Amino acid sequence: MNMNYWLMKSEPEVFGIHHLKARPGRTEPWDGVRNYQARNMLRDKMQGGDQAFFYHSGCAVPGIAGIVEIVKPGYPDATAFDPQDHHYDPKSDAQNPTWYRVDVRYVRTFKRIITLTELKTHKQLHGMALVQRGNRLSIMPVTPRQWEYILALE
DNA sequence: GCCAACGTTGGC
DNA sequence: GCCAACGTTGGC
């Protein structure tokens, strides 16, 4: 099966690419996603070996910070069942889980942040949901062409 | 801190 | 099933 490419957003002050790099095995569950469109990608589309851009959002300089690899495909997100967890969802049922997560492993940090501002200036990337107005999806697919184009910007 | 855009909820 | 109200995301 062909590998897929993705973009995954996180707030660097909460969990940035430097946090992932510092984790044991440089690996961490990507949990807490509570949006159905993003859930469908986590649960149904992501495969081991897929690669994703690690995007920093909600910060002074939003942009792509580096690359991660999906090392474990979708499995139930246990944080949804934990009342102590910030992402607890009382409506979700452990017997029929609503929310899923994947495990990601650090691959590398870019030499520089490829900023959202910069990405918006490239007409070759205008098809990306990321640069379209009002898009709030925290996980989105990236085409191989877009992937290669962005890598060449670094 | 503001606010536009969007997804979700719940009354009807 | 509609849609107003609300909460969240995320750039600026």
Residues 82-121 in A having a C-beta less than 7 A from any atom of strand C are: 116-117
Task: Tell which strand B nucleotides have any atom below 7 Å from a protein Cβ.
Answer: 4-9
What pLDDT, on the 0 to 100 scale, is given for residue A1?
64
pLDDT tens sequence across A8-34: 999 999 999 999 999 999 999 999 999
One-letter amino acid of A50 = D
Nucleotide C12, nearest residue via CA and C1': A60
What pLDDT, on the 0 to 100 scale, is given for residue A89?
87
Whether nucleic acid strand C comes within 7 Å of the CB of A136, the answer is yes
Question: Residue A96 CB: number of other CB atoms within 10 A?
Answer: 7
What pLDDT, on the 0 to 100 scale, is given for residue A93?
83
d(CA A18, CA A146): 24
- In chain A, which ranges are continuous DSSP H helix? 12-15, 17-22, 36-40, 116-120, 144-153
Question: Residue A146 CB: number of other CB atoms within 10 A?
Answer: 20
Task: Tell which strand C nucleotides have any atom below 7 Å from a protein Cβ.
Answer: 8-12
Question: Residue A48 CB: number of other CB atoms within 10 A?
Answer: 12
Residues 40-79 in A having a C-beta less than 7 A from any atom of strand B are: none
Nucleotide B8, nearest residue via CA and C1': A35
What pLDDT, on the 0 to 100 scale, is given for residue A72?
97
Whether nucleic acid strand B comes within 7 Å of the CB of A88, the answer is no
pLDDT band at A134 (very low <50, low <70, confident <90, very high): confident
pLDDT band at A141 (very low <50, low <70, confident <90, very high): very high
Whether nucleic acid strand C comes within 7 Å of the CB of A153, the answer is no
pLDDT tens sequence across A74-123: 999 999 988 888 888 888 888 889 999 999 999 999 999 999 999 999 99
Distance A134 CA to B10 C1' (A): 25
What pLDDT, on the 0 to 100 scale, is given for residue A106?
98
pLDDT tens sequence across A39-66: 999 999 999 999 999 999 999 999 999 9
